[in-house]
Amino acid sequence: MGSSANRSIGHKAAQTNYYAPRQAEAIGLPFTHMVTINFASTAIDPRLAPQAFARLRTNHFAKWARRPRKGCAPAFAPTWSYAFENSRDGVPFTTMEPGGPHNLHVHWCLHIPPGRVHDFSQRIWDWLETVTGGILGGAETIDIRSDRNNHGYLISGAPESIVEIYGRGVKATDEGIVIGLRADSSRNIGPTRRRERDRVAGIKRQMPVHRPKQPFGAVLGS
């Protein structure tokens, strides 16, 4: 499949997700909602779910954000950050075999203008059905709630040594195996744009030193 299997969020991704909420605030597009999508309630092979989620963001959400229907709230720049998990009730799934058990889901923090929340909540079901080949579950498939600083989800799957740097009260948790990109943010709040804004504002951040400890699991191969 060409994608690596991993058991934890890496240092760079954790750092990006740590800064993402405040960067979204800085550009006037604060996270307003957290969407949890449970791919175990869809027809897709979980090994392909991160790729499907990328298509949902690019082919559907981004176009929807930039091209509002007539009479809807204005267009806006897609602004988001996410992290995948593969666990249930605190128990991680440590293998990813075709047809095997899993609870692969993604926590997606994003900006949605007030006037477009209802439309988003309707359309995301169609988007998910399109990219996964079908929705098999019910209401548990997609959970949309107002963002209440649930940003710990974005880095809790990192090893303890990384969470100690960026977590601020977040507990490091083994969130199981994921194949593909486990965590990321939109480019407008990513590390390149963050450094550009820092230079303009004259901010010199003292990056904490990462002292590696035993992670939940190493990269297992492609």
Q: Which amino acid is at 78?
A: P
Mean local confidence (pLDDT), 189-214: 68
Mean local confidence (pLDDT), 85-96: 94
Please tell me the predicted confidence (pLDDT) of residue 167. 78
Please tell me the predicted confidence (pLDDT) of residue 69. 82
Measured in whole angstroms, the distance separating CA 9 from the mean position of its chain's CA atoms is 11
Of the chain, the end-to-end C-alpha distance in Å amounts to 7
- Asked if residue 18 has pLDDT above 70, the reply is yes
- Asked if residue 73 has pLDDT above 90, the reply is no
Domain assignment of residue 157, yes or no: yes
Mean local confidence (pLDDT), 104-132: 96
Domain assignment of residue 217, yes or no: no
Contacting residues for 49 by C-beta, under 8 A, at least 6 apart: 39, 42, 84, 104, 106, 132, 180
* pLDDT confidence band for 221 (50 / 70 / 90): very low
Strand partners, 65: none
Q: What is the largest CA-CA distance in the chain?
A: 53
Q: Which two tokens stand for residue 183?
A: 């965590």
Higher pLDDT, 219 or 194: 194
Q: Which amino acid is at 77?
A: A
**In this structure, are residues 50 and 182 in contact, taking their beta carbons and an 8 Å threshold?**
yes
Please tell me the predicted confidence (pLDDT) of residue 207. 57
- Asked if residue 199 has pLDDT above 80, the reply is no
Secondary element (H or E) of residue 179: strand 178-179
Please tell me the predicted confidence (pLDDT) of residue 219. 40
Mean local confidence (pLDDT), 218-222: 38
Angstrom distance (rounded) from CA 213 to CA 160: 7
Angstrom distance (rounded) from CA 94 to CA 87: 9
Q: Which of 39, 31, 36 is nearest to 79 (CA)?
A: 31
Higher pLDDT, 149 or 77: 77
Domain assignment of residue 219, yes or no: no
How many C-beta neighbours within 10 Å does residue 160 have? 15
Domain assignment of residue 20, yes or no: yes
35-71 pLDDT, tens digit per residue, is 999 999 999 999 999 999 999 999 999 999 999 887 7
Please tell me the predicted confidence (pLDDT) of residue 35. 97
Handedness of CA 184, 30, 126, 176 (dihedral sign): positive
Mean local confidence (pLDDT), 84-89: 96
- Asked if residue 1 has pLDDT above 90, the reply is no
Q: Are strands 91-92 and 183-185 parallel, antiparallel or unpaired?
A: unpaired
- Asked if residue 124 has pLDDT above 90, the reply is yes
- Asked if residue 24 has pLDDT above 90, the reply is yes
Q: How many domains are there within the chain?
A: 1
Domain assignment of residue 26, yes or no: yes
- Domain range holding 132? 5-201
- Residue 165 main-chain phi, psi, to 5 deg: -80, -45
151-171 pLDDT, tens digit per residue, is 888 999 999 999 988 877 889
Domain assignment of residue 67, yes or no: yes
Q: Which amino acid is at 60?
A: H
Of 11-25, 101-115, 124-138, 143-157, the poorest mean pLDDT is in 143-157
